[in-house]
Amino acid sequence: MKKKPFLFDLTYPELQEIVTGFGEQKFRARQVWEQAYRHLAGSFDEMSVIPKKLREELTSGISYSHLNTHTDLHSNDGWTRKILFDLPDKSQVETVLMEYETRWTACISTQAGCALGCTFCATGQGGLQRNITSGEIVEQVMFFDRLLNKKDEKLSNLVFMGMGEPFANYKEVMKAVDTLTNPEGYNFGARRITISTVGLVPQIERFAEEKRQVNLAVSLHAATDELRESMLPINKRYPIEVLLKACKQYVNKTRRRISFEWALIDGVNDTPEQAKELARLLKGILSHVNFIPLNPTRGFKGRESKQKRIEQFQSILDDAGVPNTLRLRRGIDINAGCGQLRQEANKQD
């Protein structure tokens, strides 16, 4: 049996082909596309501009949703909402919605799980279930924007920092970016999208070539190979020197600033030596370092850095002229660190 196509996987021409295959005129496909991406309809049935007969045909011929809410949590601080979704084959992804000074950011998953095994990351601790499709990425965005739309608000930023390594699922992730930024449809600004990678060098090079307006963040977390390797196994394949060379090329080619992420772990990567080495590495690269105190996970013994250490670390970078920001951790009480909710939900397994 042929698998039912999934609406959010379809490009506009593909949708058009299906709709005209029903014996309908092309403009009906445009209406469906606009209803889904501009009016944020939650089902074909909600598309009242579409005749009932076509709505029924669409409903039986095209799947509208792959996401089923498994767990839905709001944090006590009132800023964060996190959902663990079941996909049709029972693999799972997490999506987080955060409010920052009246701006809404969604943190999107790009794989169900992750194969790269970073020691401190709950997703890495659980391994990879499978790559997800572009539609399964796009639907996470639609899901939250529909909720916001109901209260006359909308998403302002998208970060691909949920479960998974976006560059290990490159094709589907870029297809999702194309769908989300399609001017005839959802029309989300590419500049308001950030993709975070653990540092897959060939894909960073490819991404630089494509000269997209999307922001790039690289998870650095350590300034020496020995330490980075002990936290991020991928460093064995792409050591710091190779990685930073690709980052420099990215900046030169695109003229865009690159972000580096650094989860501060008590006594591990928050030492003055690491700060000095980091400042040395980033000298002359158009970049910004984002610090976040470690979110403790079940499979990793480390703890978040102490306030004093963080201040000391930042002041070393400040003195060296390396721009940096300390980000807030949000929704600690709902395991808002990505991958943590799946870990909790499957504790008994």
SS3 at position 223: coil
Which residues from 283-342 bind ligand SAH, rule CB under 6 A?
Answer: 292, 294-295, 297, 337-338
Q: Is 338 annotated in the active site?
A: yes
- Answer for which of 263, 317, 336, 341 binds ligand SAH (CB under 6 A) is 263
CB of 179 to ligand SF4, least distance (A): 22
- Answer for which of 121, 174, 218, 244 binds ligand SF4 (CB under 6 A) is 121
Which residues from 154-173 bind ligand SF4, rule CB under 6 A?
Answer: 164-165
Q: Is 180 in the site for ligand SF4 (CB under 6 A)?
A: no
Q: Is 124 in the site for ligand SF4 (CB under 6 A)?
A: yes
160: its two tokens: 């691909």
List the Cα angle 229/277/230 in 5-degree steps: 15
Q: Which of 215, 296, 229, 226 is nearest to 263 (CA)?
A: 296
- Answer for which of 141, 198, 200, 204 binds ligand SAH (CB under 6 A) is 198
Q: Is 94 annotated in the active site?
A: yes
Q: Is 123 in the site for ligand SF4 (CB under 6 A)?
A: yes
Q: Could you tell me which residues come within 8 angstroms of residue 2 by beta carbon, excluding any fewer than 6 positions away?
A: none
Q: Pick the catalytic residue from 24, 94, 172, 304.
A: 94
From its phi and psi, is residue 119 left (phi > 0), alpha (psi between -120 and 50) or beta?
Answer: alpha
Q: Is 193 in the site for ligand SF4 (CB under 6 A)?
A: no
Q: Amino acid identity of 167? A: F
Query: What does 297 interact with, of ligand SAH, ligand SF4, none (CB < 5 to 8 A by kind)?
Result: ligand SAH
Q: Of the two residues 161 and 322, which places its CB atom closer to ligand SAH in the complex?
A: 161
Chain centroid offset of residue 52 CA:
36
154: its two tokens: 């909308």
Query: What does 98 interact with, of ligand SF4, ligand SAH, none (CB < 5 to 8 A by kind)?
Result: none
Distance CA 14, CA 20 (A): 10
- Of the candidate spans 28-36, 42-50, 194-202, 251-259, the one that interacts with ligand SAH by CB under 6 A turns out to be 194-202
Q: Is 116 in the site for ligand SF4 (CB under 6 A)?
A: yes
Q: Is 261 in the site for ligand SAH (CB under 6 A)?
A: yes
Query: What does 35 interact with, of ligand SAH, ligand SF4, none (CB < 5 to 8 A by kind)?
Result: none
Residues with a known catalytic role: 94, 338
Binding site for ligand SF4 (CB under 6 A): 114, 116-118, 121, 123-124, 164-165, 198, 219
Binding site for ligand SAH (CB under 6 A): 118, 120-121, 161, 165, 196-198, 219, 261, 263, 292, 294-295, 297, 337-338
